[in-house]
Amino acid sequence: MILHRVIEHVREQNWTAIGIDFVIVVVGVFVGIQVSNWNAQRETGQKAAIFTERLKADLREEAWGYQYLIEYSRDVLAHAETAVDALSGKTAASNEALLVSAYRATQYKQRTRRRSTYDELISTGSIGLIEDQRLRDTTMRLYNVPTIENTAREGAASRFREAFRMSVANDVQRALNKYCGDRSIDIGDYQGIADNLDYACKLDLPQQQIDEAANALRANASMVPLLRLRIADLGTRVHDLTVNNRDIVQGLQAVSEGTP
């Protein structure tokens, strides 16, 4: 319709009308572009808000899991030190106490990470939608620093773990797992983290079986060196989790507490 009017005005040489038509066209195009931009910005803002909330929900669970790993690793480290002191003769310990600490020194924690939102943001190139720089930096550090994976990998591949399982009878190992193993804990239960592995327990086994298993550990000359290696590795990982990754800890704490 505008084009038809312009043609008519040109034929009539009505330059004023032509100017008015031109202004109408320019304004219309400008308004159309602005409306389109506003719609795009609104859609982008909505997507950013949704991804931000999803990411915060993921990180709140990750924060709990991170703290759980720290406390669990400290418990394993403490039992490894108790076991090596008992085996090396530095301190006295009953055969049952030795077995429990040595068993707990073999333990490690590996849990499924909650990272679907981060992976989606990275795979689609949308990480820039997260405007909160601290949240973005914490997320990228958390999922790219390999400390959590290294802690689980070293625990699973621990030579002390292998030596213990080769030395102790399987029925004793099953009893240790049943009576002195990990307690069940719900995701998000911070109170349950405390002493999840470090609690009083008693094996429901004949004393003879306990003595035989403990004596097998004491007779194996490789146990003390392998425990020392386990202690060194665990000490490194706990330091990584708490000191070298302090920015991750603080960032996760901020997300958990809802602070900027």
Q: Tens of pLDDT along 76-88? A: 999 999 999 999 9
Residue ranges per structural domain of the chain: 60-257
C-alpha to C-alpha distance for 7 and 2, rounded to whole angstroms: 9
Secondary structure letter of residue 127 according to DSSP: G
Secondary structure letter of residue 192 according to DSSP: G
HSE-up (13 A, CA, CB side) for residue 215? 6
Reported as a single tens digit per residue, the pLDDT across 35-59 is: 556 665 667 789 999 999 999 999 9
Kindly list the averaged pLDDT for each block of 10 residues, start to end, along the chain of length 260: 55 61 64 61 82 96 96 97 96 96 96 94 94 94 96 96 97 97 92 90 96 97 98 97 96 86
C-alpha to C-alpha distance for 190 and 252, rounded to whole angstroms: 14
Give residue 194's pLDDT. Answer: 87
Secondary structure letter of residue 182 according to DSSP: P
Give residue 40's pLDDT. Answer: 54
**Whole-prediction pTM:** 0.84
